Amino acid sequence: MSCFSFLKTMMFIFNGIIFLGGIAVLGIGIWVKVDGGSFLKILGTAAPQLMQVVNVGYLCMAVGGFLMVMGFLGCCGAMKESRCMLMIFFIIILIIFIAEIAGAVVVLAFSSLSKIFIEYLGNVAGKYLREDYGRNNELTTVWNATMKEMKCCGFHGYEDFKNSTYYRDNHEFPPICCDYKSPCQESIISHLIKGCLSAFEAFLSQNGKIVGGVALGICGLELAAMIVSLVLFCQISNK
């Protein structure tokens, strides 16, 4: 088998998997929108804390459609030796790659902007926790799942729930903040429990190498895809 044929085959297999994955994700998204009751019933059995998450269908359809387009361009571009499809595939991957690099550079070079963004995010999160937690089912479910998974309370800490609608209605803090001891009053809240921002920062510091490895792996796959598509493009043009 020649190098050109090998690259074509690998391009077809790799993008074929992406295309089939896109069909599966798109199908789930359509199923959620058409028959959401059945989806929520299954989701409620598998992961009750996620049962109230909305707009899952639209997200799945968007992601699935994008994966299908990418897989189609890669597969057909390689097998039909279409320079146009290969170039479109290359450009899309290049744009994604540049956006990822630009995002990383911004985060590393402008840490002050990151702090400003986190401060803004904290203000928004605090506002929603004070006004909507306990009343908005979707927001409450997402926050409960986050706090339970990360073993945290509030965005900055349990103080986010002081003077909140939830506290005024129930005269206690969320049970998660007291390890499900009831009633959850400030006197029994462990002052060792962190806010979700601190818990997330601790998670990143502990798992930074894993996160970095995954990011590098994704960038490596994108570089490989760009190189292969460009090589095929050049080989076809030389025929």
Contact indicator for 200, 122 with CB cutoff of 8 Å: no
Averaged pLDDT for residues 40-65: 60
Averaged pLDDT for residues 99-127: 72
- pLDDT value at residue 151: 86
- pLDDT value at residue 38: 55
Instruction: Report CA torsion sign: 75, 76, 78, 84.
Output: negative
Label residue 48 by pLDDT band (50, 70, 90).
Answer: very low
Q: By C-alpha distance, which of 238, 239, 232, 237 is closest to 73?
A: 232
The listed CATH number (3.30.450.40, 1.10.1450.10, 3.40.50.150, 2.40.50.140) that belongs to domain 112-199 = 1.10.1450.10
- pLDDT value at residue 50: 47
- pLDDT value at residue 51: 44
Q: Report CA Rg, the chain.
A: 24
What distance in Å separates the CA atoms of residue 134 and residue 120, rounded to the nearest whole number?
22
Label residue 114 by pLDDT band (50, 70, 90).
Answer: low
User: In percent, how much of the chain has pLDDT > 70?
Assistant: 82
Q: Tell whether the model's pLDDT for residue 175 goes beyond 70.
A: yes
Question: Domain locations in the chain?
Answer: 3-110+208-238, 112-199
